């Protein structure tokens, strides 16, 4: 991301955040019946943040680099930013302050053998590791079985966001809550773009998705950001049917830039039974694949 691109990112993020807040929500009087802007005006944000209008205008035009932590916190409060949005704001400010000295970090593309060993030891829960671009880098057997529809599409490494947007028919069948998944995927990817704006592979992925998916263009234009830490995910597996899973996603401190995702289900639920069935199905598929490889040529 060059200077003009960063300026545009800051402008669009701040303007979309203030556009969603009405004066009434901010506790301000709404004078006049014909407001020409959606949401708050720049001068209203400046007043709420305790800065001059000129200073806020400079910030919205890209001048976040010189802003102090207290000013950024006040701005985040004025715009009612959540934790992910605050993180994104501070990442943009940090990047704005390092112009001319871009941080060329590339998301990891492989895992250490010990990480794969850890995954393989987790036999009762699907577990997998991804990078910030949503490339799937390692999985245990149950995760490979669970995500078999994602792994079936062409292209390696498998990428969940590419699957969601570029294979919509298969993705709609697999993800029960497809619309929410698309919104979350774009928001998570934008959060990563704020942290690591010079990752060339990430830039290429965003470009590919923007070129090939109208839905992604719409989601990306919203400038939403989101953490992916825990929650529920409903999947429709071709072999075992619907699974209502709980997930936990955690950063691997020993491998910066990588996240471990683990899916579980409460004991005694239909999904817990379906996971056991999935494990049996995965084992049978493994046997079939092994026999096919070992079969003598006719």
Reduced to 3 states, what is the DSSP secondary structure of residue 62? coil
Contact between 206 and 166 under an 8 Å Cβ cutoff? The reply is no
Residues of the chain with pLDDT > 70, as a percent, come to 91
Instruction: In whole angstroms, give the CA distance from residue 68 to residue 39.
Output: 25
Contacts of 31 (CB under 8 A, 6+ apart): none
The domain ranges of the chain are 3-96, 113-293
> What pLDDT, in 10s, does the model give residues 41-73?
999 999 999 999 999 999 999 999 889 999 999
pLDDT tens per residue across span 202-239: 999 999 999 999 999 999 999 999 999 999 999 999 99
Q: How far apart are CA 252 and CA 265, in angstroms?
A: 22
Of the two residues 1 and 55, the one the predictor is more confident about is: 55
Q: Are 281 and 240 in contact (CB under 8 A)?
A: yes
Domain 3-96 is found in CATH 1.10.1370.10: no
What's the whole-model pTM score? 0.89
113-293 is a CATH 3.50.50.60 domain:
no
């Amino acid at each position: 991301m060059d200077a003009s691109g960063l300026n545009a990112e800051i402008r669009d993020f701040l303007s979309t955040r203030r556009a969603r807040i009405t004066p009434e929500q901010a506790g301000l009087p709404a004078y006049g019946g014909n407001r020409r802007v959606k949401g708050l005006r720049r001068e209203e944000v400046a007043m709420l943040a305790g800065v001059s209008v000129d200073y806020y205008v400079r910030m919205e035009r890209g001048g976040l680099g010189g802003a102090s932590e207290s000013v950024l916190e006040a701005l985040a409060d004025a715009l009612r930013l959540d934790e992910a949005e605050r993180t994104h704001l501070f990442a943009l400010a940090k990047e704005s302050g390092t112009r001319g000295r871009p941080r060329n970090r590339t998301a990891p593309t492989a895992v250490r053998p010990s990480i794969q060993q850890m995954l393989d030891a987790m036999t009762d829960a699907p577990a997998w590791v991804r990078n910030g671009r949503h490339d799937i880098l390692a999985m245990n057997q149950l995760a490979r079985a669970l995500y078999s529809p994602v792994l079936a599409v062409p292209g390696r490494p498998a990428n969940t966001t590419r699957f969601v947007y570029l294979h919509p028919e298969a993705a709609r069948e697999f993800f029960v809550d497809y619309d929410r998944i698309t919104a979350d995927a774009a928001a998570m990817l934008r959060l990563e773009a704020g942290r690591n704006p010079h990752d060339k592979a990430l830039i290429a992925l965003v470009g590919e998705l923007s070129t090939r998916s109208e839905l992604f263009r719409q989601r990306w234009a919203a400038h939403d950001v989101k953490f992916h830490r825990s929650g529920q995910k409903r999947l429709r597996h071709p072999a075992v049917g619907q699974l209502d899973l709980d997930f936990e996603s955690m950063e691997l401190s020993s491998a910066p830039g990588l996240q471990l995702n683990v899916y579980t289900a409460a004991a005694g639920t239909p999904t817990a039974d379906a996971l056991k069935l999935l494990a049996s199905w995965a084992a049978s598929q493994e046997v079939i694949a092994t026999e096919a490889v070992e079969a003598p040529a006719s």
